Amino acid sequence: MITTADDNKICVWDTTKRERIGKGVINKKKGAKRKRGASTMSRFRPNQCSRAVAINCNNGHVAVSTNEGEVQIRASYSDIDNTINAFRDSKRWNEVMEYSPDGKYLAVGSHD
């Protein structure tokens, strides 16, 4: 299982052992200050906060979305800090993402 939130972390969990087995960073560089957007009490900038994560079961890629609307594709849960692609199609934060069953498509639900 993989979780992400407003703490600039991506955590990989072993649910049977109930322990974290991996950790990544959403963004090492601070971005612009928060103007308006996802409600948070975080001290991190929007580009370092996240509301959505999705795992592609076919190739192991992990999609992580920042609170600025950028979607980052990570290599795998075992290589979670390796961003292999990034894109931005929305102007506001993304709340939900899900890969299609065949892994060819990534659906992204944003607030704009």
Q: Per-residue confidence of the chain (112 residues) as pLDDT tens digits? A: 999 999 999 999 999 999 999 999 999 998 888 766 667 778 899 899 998 999 999 999 999 999 889 999 999 999 999 999 999 988 888 999 999 999 999 999 998 8
Parse the chain into domains and list their residue ranges.
2-30+41-95
Can you list the pairs that 60-67 forms with residues at least 24 positions away whose Cβ atoms lie under 8 Å? 62/2, 62/10, 63/97, 63/99, 63/106, 64/4, 64/10, 64/26, 65/93, 65/94, 65/97, 65/108, 66/26, 66/27, 66/93, 67/6, 67/37, 67/38, 67/40, 67/93
In single-letter form, the type of residue at position 101 comes to: P
Residues 25, 83: contact at Cβ < 8 Å? Answer: no
